[in-house]
Structure formats: C-alpha cells, structure tokens
C-alpha cells in the first residue's frame, strides 16, 4: 500500500468505500503499477418530500441530530411522472453509513405516511461515483488537494476500446481436516492453496495460527487486486475467521489491502424467488482495497469472464465486488438510478407508479405476451433461422417506453400510441429506461461487429465476453420493466412492449410469406423459414427488407441441413415451443430444451445423448438422418449395458436438484429432499434456493432414506 506523494496521479479508479466519518477511501492503480490509497471528504445527501408544513416540522426535529451536517430546501423532480420540479428538503449527512438509520427516523416522524424519503437506497460507494460522475476502472487524473480530491476523467462508459490495468488475480482454496463427512467450523485447517500468475503456493506447515499468519503475509507480499474463492461468502471466510478466533490471532488475520481485520458477519443470507425458481444468496464478505469474488456467488463472471464483469461494473457504475454478486436486474437498476440522478429526478424508496385500470376486455386484448407459431412436428430439410437483434430492448428505445412516458399527462394527443390499448406515449421527453438501454444496445452491436471483424483470437474472445455481459442486461430489461419492485418499471409499458412486439413479429412473418417462405415455427423474436430452391442470398435479402420495414435489425442466423421439432410427451401431435435439435450448414449443432441443455442432467445421460446427436450430425438431410437411426439405437444399448455391468464411474451418475423451499416444508419425500435431510443430519446447512447432489441407489425402496445417497 502506498499513499500518493505527488499532488497528481494518473491511473484507474479501483475501489471506493467509507473510511473515517465524512471520508471515503479511494484506491487508484497508477500507470506505473502502483496501488495508491487516497482519502476524499464526502457527505451524502437524501431528500424528503411531503407537504410544506410537514417538511418544516421535520427541520425542527432533526436540527440537533448528530448525524446531520446541514439541510436546505431545493427543487427536484419528485415523481418520475412529474413535468415540473417541486420543493423538497435536502439533508446532508456526516457519514454515509448513517443513511439507513436516519431514513427510519424520518419515516417514523411522519408516521410512515406523511413524509417520503428519496435516494436513501444508494450505498455510499455508488453515491460517490454518481456525485463525481465516475465509474469503476475509469482512467483518470486525480489531484490530491488539501481539502479534497479533484478528478479529471480521461475515459467514457461509451468507449469500446478502453484500456484496463494489468490485474493481479489470486485463487484461494482451503482444505479442511474433516472429522465427519461434512466439514464444520470446529474442524482444523489441513492446508491452504494460493495460485497467482501461474505460480502455486501451499501452506501446510505449522499450527493453525502459523498457517493463518503465513496466509496473511503471503497475501500482503503477492498483493493481489482480486481474490477469487469458491464459497468464500457462504463458508470459507467465516471458517477462516472462526479458526483465527480459536487461535487467538483474529486481530492479525488481515487479507484486505487496507489493514483492516476481519469482523464476524452479522448479515444473514437471503432466499428470493425469480423467474419461477427459488434462489439463495449468501451475504457479501467484503475486502478493503482488494476485491473478493466468490465464484459460487457470481452470475456474470461465470457467463462472461472478467472482461464481462469489468464491462458491467463500468457501464452500471457499480463497484466490482457489488457487480460480481448483483443480479442482472440490480445492474439494470444501477443504470437507471444514475440516469435519474443525472436528470435531477429523485429515486423513490418504493415503486410509486400503479398500473392503470383496465376492463376485462382490455386485459383480454392487451395482456397476451409474445406471438408464437406452433412448430410443425417432425424433421425438416434446408430450414433457415432468422432472429431479431435485441427486439424488446430496441422496441423500448424506439417507442420511448418508460414509467414516466407511458400515459404521460403532458401528451394526451401524442401520435405515438401503444397498439390495441391506444395508450399515449410521451413525445416531449425521453424516458429513463430508453436512455440507458440505447447505450447498452449500441455498445453491444459495436462489440459484435468488432468480434466478427478481428482476427486476433484474444481480442475476439474479449469482445465476445463484453457483448455477452451486455446481452444479459438486454435479456432481462423487458421482464424487469414489469417487475413489481422496479422503481422505474411500468406494467402498462410492459404490456405495451408485448403489443409492439406482436405487431412487428406478425409483419415480419407476413413479409416472409409474401416472398414465398413457409413459416415452420416462430417464437417471440425468432422465425424458422423454409423455401424450396432458396439460397443464402434469399434469406439475406429478406432480412434486409424486414429490417428496413420494421426498424429493428433482423439477422440471418444460418441454414440447417436438417432440424427436428419435438412433440409434447403428453400430446404427441402438438409441438413444444422450445424443444428442438438440428445441424447447420456450417456443421454447428444447435440444441434446445432436451437433457443435454439441463443443469441437473448426470454426465452419463449427457454423454449418451451427445453421442447420439453427434452421430446424427453427419447426416446431410432427413433421408440420411433416418438411415442412421439403427446405429443411434446401438449407442443407447451400449450405454445401457455399461450401466448394468457397473462400468460407469459414480461421479457420472450424480444428479443435481434445486430446492424451491426449506427441506422441512416439503410434504413428500422427493429425491432432493431425502438428500437434503441426509446432509442436514451430517451437520450441513441446507436452505431454500440451494442445490443438492446425489446418486440414486434404489429409487423404489420402501424406506425412502435408502432411495438416494447425498454426495
């Protein structure tokens, strides 16, 4: 750790967090590779709205509050729908860690009805970035003045060819000397493994106190920027802290760059429900001056590597440790909060825009989701697939869909109307949602173009990971628009996007049919088309015409040698919307909705099904496909024989299942519940949202505890 001796430093802003009261610690990775700690004065602001008399009463009650630095009456846009600013009470706090407690005091003073608090959900580090118009890993020049820091930004979130500092990334693993089948906090440390820059270090000598002290010294010596664990949030760091307490050296056990000892975590993990599934999220274990990433508690890193994570942190203006753990919806919220902050629009504590009243007929007409063409069951030759690029996000941008623009009061006679419901959309101002989405849509298109143009494999991978990260924001933005807790969401806008989407999709299908194509299948934003004697140019011309007509890019994904649309298991004559497999002219195999795509499929089943598909993939048409069926059935027989003869490794038979609720709340002894109960009996903590792994031992046994064996 170094403090800057020079008044000016050029480099990348790496980490920000509250230090002393009224101060923020700021870590810079300088151009010459130094890790420099600076301190800046910072006092956050919250805002209180309500009638004038209530605001003035509040001033009298908080005047002597020790957490309040000062207050003032100013004008802001209070509600997203407001077209004029209103008077609000601006309260400046001495310490950003006191925002939550002061918010609760104010709400209590107003009996939770008469006063509303705004911008109170922004954490101190995020507020600091917003206030200074900065973002993580921004390249800048910072001048260390006596009173505060002065920033000169030399970077932009819109940049696609930005440079990043060389990161030191350490992987930390702990091996526990278990005394039972399941490790516990009371078990001693067996060894500690560290990997950084292709070098591996093993700490396995000495007693526990010496091992922990060696770990602290090694981390300080190697000085990593990022420490990656698997289970650090949920178990590893809690375990290490417990062993440090037992060894009476918790004050010396330091992994942060800022020399702050670990403190026991008081925050509990949370279980939440999203898109039909229950998830469990462990509480964050924070390091200071370094970033801890739990590989088991990060979605974006697993989907798009570090390049995708850095892109999300930059564009969403969220600290790295937060970005790595955030859901994509939370990242989307951060983008919207910054845009609102920039437009002097207050961020509500709770969603404040209700759904407009609709008659039963209006609901029947409008609330219908996306348009689909039921697939024609069977195998089809020479089928082309076309796909709208970011269809729903593009519709939201093109049609200005946001909470404050749909059914706005300023444009009742707007020419921009939502189909079928005829709702007006604002023409006087651009909404928060389309503003932030335009940035994401435009950047992703540029990354995809660069990925396809460059030859260098490292650059190709980098651009691909960045566009994948942005893709997930675009994938979730439509659902988040209708989410009940989205502060700039709107159910009416959500319904409107579906209506615009249905109209665009139907127009694309009609244009395709007018050009002689047959629609074999269609779902929301993708069409599978067939035309005798068609060539690639026919598909490309069609895409160009539809793109020009509708205003959203329609891409030709490729042509299949053959594709199989599978039927429903319950109704053999009815096709399933998203269950198919096929081989393109390029040789690429595309599979959806079958076992090889499911996360809980045992490796044995995956290998068997992939071998069957690979054998089919050598067929050039449906006739050759049918001729290969006997050989494919022989594959099934061979795998069955391996299983009967006990030739399959036990790890290839492991099944993974998700728990939608706590094990004790299940009424039936399903396989995953039995496995969870076995783990609990061994001392493990199993919660709703966790996954359990097990093997089937005797699935029909009358004693349910003998049906499976937990891993």
The residue-averaged pLDDT of 618-645 equals 93
The pLDDT-based confidence of 576 (bands split at 50, 70, 90) is confident
pLDDT at 272: 47
pLDDT at 268: 60
Stated as kind and residue range, the H or E segment containing 378 is: strand 378-388
Each residue's pLDDT tens digit, 91-114: 999 999 999 999 999 999 988 889
Q: Would strands 169-176 and 189-196 be described as parallel, antiparallel, or unpaired?
A: antiparallel
* DSSP code of residue 264: -
- Strand intervals (E) in 42-134: 45-49, 68-76, 86-93, 116-118
* 628 vs 263: which has the higher pLDDT: 628
**What's the pTM?**
0.86
Tell me the percentage of the chain whose pLDDT exceeds 90.
57
Classified as helix, coil or strand, 207 is coil
Q: CB count, 10 Å around CB of 271?
A: 17
Report the CATH number of the 45-121 domain.
3.30.70.2520
pLDDT at 688: 79
Each residue's pLDDT tens digit, 194-221: 999 989 999 999 899 999 999 999 999 9
pLDDT at 2: 54
The residue-averaged pLDDT of 129-136 equals 96
Q: What integer best gives the mean pLDDT of the chain?
A: 89
The residue-averaged pLDDT of 245-262 equals 87
**Are 45-121 and 169-340 the same fold in CATH?**
no
CA distance 476 to 400: 17
Residue 482 has pLDDT above 60, yes or no: yes
pLDDT at 453: 92
Classified as helix, coil or strand, 201 is strand
Tell me the percentage of the chain whose pLDDT exceeds 70.
96
The pLDDT-based confidence of 158 (bands split at 50, 70, 90) is very high
Classified as helix, coil or strand, 487 is coil
pLDDT at 489: 81
Phi (first) and psi of residue 193, to 5 degrees = -115, 130
What does each C-alpha distance from 599 to 30, 354, 362, 594, 691 come to in angstroms? 42, 37, 39, 11, 11
- Compute, in degrees rounded to 10, the torsion defined by CA atoms 553, 555, 479, 330: -90
Neighbouring-strand partners of residue 584: 560
CATH 3.30.420.10 fits 169-340, yes or no: yes
Each residue's pLDDT tens digit, 342-351: 999 999 888 7
Which has the closest alpha carbon to 528: 536, 537, 541, 517?
517
Q: CB count, 10 Å around CB of 596?
A: 18
Residue 484 has pLDDT above 80, yes or no: no
pLDDT at 126: 94
Each residue's pLDDT tens digit, 450-463: 999 999 999 999 99
527-531, 580-584, 638-642, 686-690: least confidently modelled range: 686-690
Each residue's pLDDT tens digit, 431-443: 999 999 999 999 9
Report the CATH number of the 654-710 domain.
3.40.1820.20
All structural domains of the chain with their residue ranges: 2-42+132-153, 45-121, 169-340, 654-710
Q: Would strands 518-523 and 526-530 be described as parallel, antiparallel, or unpaired?
A: antiparallel
524 in Cβ contact with 443 (< 8 Å): no
């Amino acid at each position: 750790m170094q403090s800057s001796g020079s008044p000016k430093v050029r480099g990348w802003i790496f980490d920000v967090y509250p230090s002393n009261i009224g101060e923020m610690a700021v870590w810079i990775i300088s151009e010459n590779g130094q890790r420099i700690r600076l301190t800046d004065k910072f006092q956050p602001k919250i805002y209180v709205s309500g009638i004038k008399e209530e605001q003035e009463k509040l001033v009298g009650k908080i005047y002597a509050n020790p957490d309040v630095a000062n207050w003032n009456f100013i004008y802001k846009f209070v509600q997203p729908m407001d077209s004029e600013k209103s008077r609000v009470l601006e309260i400046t706090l001495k310490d950003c860690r006191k925002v939550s407690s002061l918010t609760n005091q104010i709400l209590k003073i107003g009996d939770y009805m008469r006063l509303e608090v705004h911008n109170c959900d922004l954490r101190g580090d995020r507020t600091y970035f917003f206030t200074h118009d900065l973002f993580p890993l921004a390249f800048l020049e910072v001048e260390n003045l006596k009173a505060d820091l002065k920033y000169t930004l030399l970077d932009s979130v819109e940049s696609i060819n930005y440079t990043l500092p060389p990161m030191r990334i350490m992987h930390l693993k702990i091996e526990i000397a278990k005394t039972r089948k399941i490790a516990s906090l009371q078990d001693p440390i067996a060894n500690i493994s560290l990997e950084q820059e292709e070098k591996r270090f093993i700490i396995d000598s000495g007693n526990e106190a010496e091992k922990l002290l060696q770990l602290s010294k090694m981390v300080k010596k190697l000085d990593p920027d990022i420490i990656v664990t698997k289970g650090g949030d949920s178990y590893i760091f809690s375990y290490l802290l417990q062993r440090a307490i037992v060894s009476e050296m918790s004050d010396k056990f330091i992994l942060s760059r800022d020399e702050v000892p670990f403190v026991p975590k008081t925050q509990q993990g949370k279980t939440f429900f999203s898109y039909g599934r229950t998830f469990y999220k462990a509480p964050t274990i924070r390091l200071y001056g370094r970033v801890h990433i739990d590989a088991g508690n990060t979605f974006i890193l697993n989907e798009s590597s570090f390049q995708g994570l850095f892109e999300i942190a930059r564009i969403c203006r969220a600290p790295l440790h937060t970005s790595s753990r955030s859901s994509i919806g939370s990242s989307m919220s951060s983008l919207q909060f910054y845009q609102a902050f920039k437009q002097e629009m207050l961020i509500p504590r709770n969603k404040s825009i209700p759904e407009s009243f609709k008659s039963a007929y209006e609901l029947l007409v409008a609330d219908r989701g996306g348009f689909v063409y039921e697939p024609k069951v069977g195998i089809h030759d020479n089928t082309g697939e076309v796909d709208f690029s970011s269809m729903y996000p593009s519709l939201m941008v093109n049609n200005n869909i946001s909470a404050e623009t749909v059914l706005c009061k300023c444009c009742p006679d707007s020419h921009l109307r939502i189909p079928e419901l005829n709702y007006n959309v604002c023409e006087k101002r651009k909404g928060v949602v389309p503003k932030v989405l335009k940035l994401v849509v435009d950047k992703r298109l540029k990354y995809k173009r660069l990925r396809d143009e460059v030859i260098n494999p490292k650059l190709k991978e980098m651009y691909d990971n960045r566009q994948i990260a942005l893709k997930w924001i675009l994938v979730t933005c439509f659902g988040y628009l209708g989410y009940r807790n989205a502060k700039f969401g709107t159910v009416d806008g959500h319904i409107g996007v579906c209506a615009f989407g249905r109209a665009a999709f139907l127009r694309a299908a009609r244009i395709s049919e007018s050009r002689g194509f047959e629609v074999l299948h269609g779902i929301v934003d993708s069409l599978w088309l067939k035309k005798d004697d068609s060539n690639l140019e026919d598909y490309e011309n069609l895409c160009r015409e539809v793109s020009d007509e509708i205003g959203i890019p329609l891409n030709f994904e490729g042509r299949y040698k053959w594709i199989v649309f599978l039927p429903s298991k319950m109704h053999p004559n009815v096709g399933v919307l998203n269950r198919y497999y096929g081989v393109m002219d390029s040789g690429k195999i595309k599979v959806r909705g079958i076992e090889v795509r499911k996360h809980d499929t045992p490796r044995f089943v995956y290998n068997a099904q992939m071998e069957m598909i690979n054998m089919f993939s050598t067929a050039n048409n449906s006739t050759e496909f049918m001729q290969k069926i006997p050989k494919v059935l022989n594959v099934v027989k061979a795998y069955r024989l391996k299983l009967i003869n006990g030739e399959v490794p036990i790890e290839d038979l492991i099944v993974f299942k998700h728990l939608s609720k706590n094990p004790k709340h299940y009424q039936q002894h399903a396989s995953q519940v039995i496995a969870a109960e076995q783990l609990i009996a061994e001392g493990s903590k199993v919660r709703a949202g966790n996954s359990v792994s097990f093997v089937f031992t005797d699935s029909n046994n009358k004693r349910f505890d003998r049906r499976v064996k937990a891993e």
